[in-house]
Amino acid sequence: MIGIEKALREKRGVIFEMAERGIPVVHLLYIKGLVQRYGLSWDPVPLPDPGKGRVYQLAREKQPGFLLFTAGYFLLTGFILVFRKRLGLRFYPLRSEN
């Protein structure tokens, strides 16, 4: 049984190796499925003008929420950095592996 497992492991390709290492993989054979899942156009004719596609429309709709989240994140980060002593927080530098 060990010989079969070794033979199968030797015939695996790059995609299997990357997936085993935890690297995200998008297989080109599944692109059409992803297009259908997310409602994107598959080879639209005629091509939409730059900035006029559905992806851009979604980005414009989500922009206020994203900006609010980003502002809150930076305000919270600034608050923590300014008041870290009063909050009793200490930040230690990362140790080098040398």
* Every domain of the chain and the residues it spans: 1-43, 46-90
Spell out the SS3 assignment of the chain.
CHHHHHHHHHCCCHHHHHHHCCCCCCCHHHHHHHHHHCCCCCCCCCCCCCCCCHHHHHHHHHHHHHHHHHHHHHHHHHHHHHCHHHHCCCCCCCCCCC
User: Distances in Å between the alpha carbon of 2 and those of 9, 11, 13, 63?
Assistant: 11, 15, 19, 54
Whole-angstrom Cα distance, residue 18 to residue 29?
A: 16
* pLDDT recorded at residue 14: 84
Top-confidence residue, 3 or 86:
86
Would the pTM count as exceeding 0.75? no
Q: Take residue 54 and report the two structure tokens written for it.
A: 């559905």
Mean pLDDT in residue range 15-33: 84
pLDDT value for 95? 66
pLDDT on residue 93: 65
Position 50, amino acid: P
Percent of the chain with pLDDT over 90: 11
